[in-house]
Structure 1
Amino acid sequence: MPSNRWIKNALPGALGILLFLLIWELLGRTGVLGLTWPPLTSVIATLIDPSKTALFLRATSASLTSAGTGYLAGGALGLVAALAGHLIPTLQEGLSRFAAVVNSVPPIALASVFLVLVTTESTPTAVAAIKVFFIIFIAVQSGLRSATPAQHDLFTSLGTGRFKRLWLLEVPTMLPVAMSGLKIAVPVALIGAFVGEWFGASRGLGVLILNAMQNFQISMLWSAVLLATLVSLAVYFILTMVESIVRLRLT
């Protein structure tokens, strides 16, 4: 049955997470790793503390806004660049090299550059967009090439034009690969936003993490990290479900 298969596939992952959380709590309780590793229960207590709810909500909202805007902008740029390179072969090599060079620049270096080029509040969005751009560019580029020679031969024999072939053959075969790229880009966008927030942003989870680290607020630090992880996993899970629906409709 499908439900039993789903439980069987999910059980190892759930047990692994449970074991990790148990080890986290034990290490924190025993103090083996010192004061910088608090018990999980202490971190959760800080996270659900009513007096800190507004702070966490503001920080999460700011980070999601920056990461989300960068995600959409970087995704759109990556899609347009990949399509341009696919339709105009002379651009392909140059665009691929440009994307590789941009991706090779560390996020901290990018944030430093954008701090000069744009405002401090726009830096998280810009860093997230640049890092997402490369992932989507590669995913779409690979997906557009995934149609088999036999499929291309069929469309050639039918006399299909270039743009009609793109729409009827190459885009549908590209979608599953693009969805995987969109899914992978979620944590990358969030990390880019967090790094960008370290360079003068007024709010965000990155700012919260940095301030907690500088003031040695260990429970607050781990609470912000845990919250960032949960947000990333939630969005990743949603996109995984969307990817499953897309694959189901295309098969």
Structure 2
Amino acid sequence: MRGSALRRLYPVLGVIALVVLVEVVGRFELAGKSWPPLTEVLASLGQPGRLDLVLRSLGATAVAAAAGLVLGTVLATAGAALGLLVPVARPGMDRLAAILNAVPLIALAPLLIMTVGREGTPTVIAALGVGFVMFVALSSGLLAASRTHQDVFTVLGAARLTRLRRLQFPAALPYFLDGLALAGPTAVLGATIGEWFGAPSGLGVLIVSAMQNFQIPLLWSAALSATLLSLLAYVLFSRVQVLAARRFA
């Protein structure tokens, strides 16, 4: 019991230590004037309209990240399933995922702006990052079914689609949830970066604007908001993963 309480206390102590470190570095200007104290960043949110601006930007980024998470997950699931249903297509799907992940975002940005528009670019960039993470997770998970179970389905003459639906998808659930825990923060990062390329609103737009106008507290407010959103997504999906493990263990 005591050991369990200590394990729960360690993350709290880590967060407190990090907050204190950030405050000390900013207070004594150990990293220069571009690193303000955390208290100064929080106090700046009290300026007229500042908190509303950050919250609106946070909402826009959250919507783009959520849309990218759904789109990327759906495409990754379809790609991984296609690789099992049509084995000859699997090497091509693997290479396509690797190539898309390797292409620099700065090279994709002009193409995305011309095709899906500035408003849709954050969602697509988020989906690209999520898609690769989920494709890797699902590609491993769909092959995780035990050899004994696979032999049973073979003996019963199950079609590939039946095998996929009744055996491989259930076996891949832990891998799917593992992938979601990583894909959530990836979606937030992708949406934020996608907003740098001319989106009408979002934390990425706020970060670029604050950086260009040397509004350091606003810059840090936007960056911390993006960090908290990523952390929230990770904690949420990690909790779902734990609950699912308890339910299906």
The number of equivalent residue pairs is 249
Counterpart check, 1:29 vs 2:54: no
Match of 2:193 in 1: 195
Alignment of 1:23-102 (within 5 A): 23-47=21-45, 49=47, 51-102=49-100
* 8 Å CA contact retained: 1:120, 1:201: yes
Q: Alpha-carbon deviation of 1:48?
A: 5.3
Match of 2:205 in 1: 207
| Identity across matched positions, percent | 43
The amino acid that maps onto 1:91 is: A
Counterpart check, 1:122 vs 2:93: no
The amino acid that maps onto 2:217 is: S
Cα RMSD over matched residues? 1.7
Cα distance in structure 2, aligned partners of 1:5 and 1:247 = 22
* 8 Å CA contact retained: 1:107, 1:192: no
* 8 Å CA contact retained: 1:108, 1:196: no
Q: 1:48 to 1:228 in 2, by over 3 A?
A: farther
Q: Which runs of 5+ in 2 are unaligned?
A: none
Q: Alpha-carbon deviation of 1:208?
A: 0.4
Q: Alpha-carbon deviation of 1:109?
A: 2.4
Cα distance in structure 1, aligned partners of 2:141 and 2:69 = 19
Q: Alpha-carbon deviation of 1:155?
A: 3.0
The amino acid that maps onto 1:216 is: F
Q: 1:26 to 1:92 in 2, by over 3 A?
A: same
Partner SS, residue 198 of structure 1? helix
* 8 Å CA contact retained: 2:145, 2:168: yes
* 8 Å CA contact retained: 1:111, 1:195: no
Cα distance in structure 2, aligned partners of 1:71 and 1:157 = 38
Cα distance in structure 2, aligned partners of 1:249 and 1:108 = 43
* 8 Å CA contact retained: 1:70, 1:125: yes
Q: Alpha-carbon deviation of 1:53?
A: 2.0
Cα distance in structure 2, aligned partners of 1:48 and 1:186 = 30
Q: Which runs of 5+ in 1 are unaligned?
A: none
Cα distance in structure 1, aligned partners of 2:151 and 2:178 = 27
TM-score in terms of structure 1 length: 0.93
TM-score in terms of structure 2 length: 0.94
Match of 1:238 in 2: 236
Alignment of 1:140-155 (within 5 A): 140-155=138-153
Cα distance in structure 2, aligned partners of 1:6 and 1:169 = 35
Q: Alpha-carbon deviation of 1:17?
A: 1.8
